[in-house]
Amino acid sequence: MKAKHQRLILALVAVAGVAGAGVLGASALRDEAAYFRTPVEVKAGKTEVGEPMRLGGMVAAGSIERQADGLTIRFVATDGKASVPVEFKGIVPDLFAEESGMVADGRMRADGTFVADRILAKHDERYMPPQMGEMPEGVAKMAPKA
């Protein structure tokens, strides 16, 4: 085998590898990527029950209730136009509070409640997820009824 042929074969193997990786990546992205939704999109029916997704919104003022087991909390996530009730069992992150932003991973339950597996809160007062930038300040105080 000539060196030139070897180069060609290596190049072909590399191209095949890249193509394979592209297919693998694209199919995995289609299966595994979670949509980011705001409450108004949830209300518009853009989400399916049981599908993994990420919900972003402000925690509505006065909405956090703790259940008797001491572990489960319920609150209302809002973007000022619509509201979604959220249920979460666990320790909320350090920066989670009423009237501040949060992003939660989880899925919708058939009764219209969002069940969160994990809650992320905004990191500090200078940081906001880009998706939250569109929400005007003070929306947490004028949350529509869930």
Partner 1 sequence: MIAELGLALLWIAAALACLSLVAGVLFLRGGPKDLASLVRPASVAQGVLTTAAFGLLIALFVRSDMSVELVARNSNSLKPMIFKIAGTWGNHEGSMLLWLMILSLSGALIAIFERRLREDTLVATLAAQAALSLGFFAFLLFSSNPFNRLPVAPPDGQGLNPLLQDIGLAFHPPTLYVGYVGLSVAFSFAVGALITREIGPAFARAMRPWVLFSWIFLTLGITAGSYWAYYELGWGGWWFWDPVENVSLIPWLAGAALLHSVAVTATRNALRAWTVMLAVIGFSMSMVGTFIVRSGLLTSVHSFAVDPERGTFLLALMAIYIGGALTLFAVRAGSVAEGKKFALLSREGSLVINNLLLTTILALVLLGTLYPIVAEALGEKISVGPPYYNKVAGPLALILCLVMVAGPLLSWRKDDGKRLWSRLPLAIFAGAAVLFALILFGGKVGILPLLGMTVAGVVAVASLAPLWGRNLRRTPLPTWGMVIAHFGVAVCLAGMGAESAFIKEKLVAARPGDVVKVGDFDVRFEGVKPVAGPNYTAIEGTLVATTPGGGSHVMKPESRMFPGLMGTAPTETNEAALLTRPGGQLYAVLGQPVLGADGAGRYQLRLWWKPLVWWIWLGGALIAIGAALSLLGRAQLLTVWRGRRARKDEGRWK
Q: Which residues bind partner 1 (CB under 8 A)?
A: 1-4, 6-7, 10, 13-14, 17-18, 20-21, 24-25, 28-29, 31-37, 52, 54, 66, 68-71, 89-92, 94-95, 103, 105, 118, 120, 123-131
Contact 62, 27 (CB under 8 A): no
Query: Residue 91, SS3?
Result: coil
Q: How far is the CB of 67 from partner 1 (least distance, A)?
A: 10
**Among residues 37 and 111, whose Cβ is nearest to partner 1?**
37
Rounded to whole angstroms, the Cα distance separating 67 from 61 reads 18
Q: How far is the CB of 82 from partner 1 (least distance, A)?
A: 16
Q: How far is the CB of 41 from partner 1 (least distance, A)?
A: 9
118: Cα separation from own chain's centroid: 9
Contact 59, 99 (CB under 8 A): yes
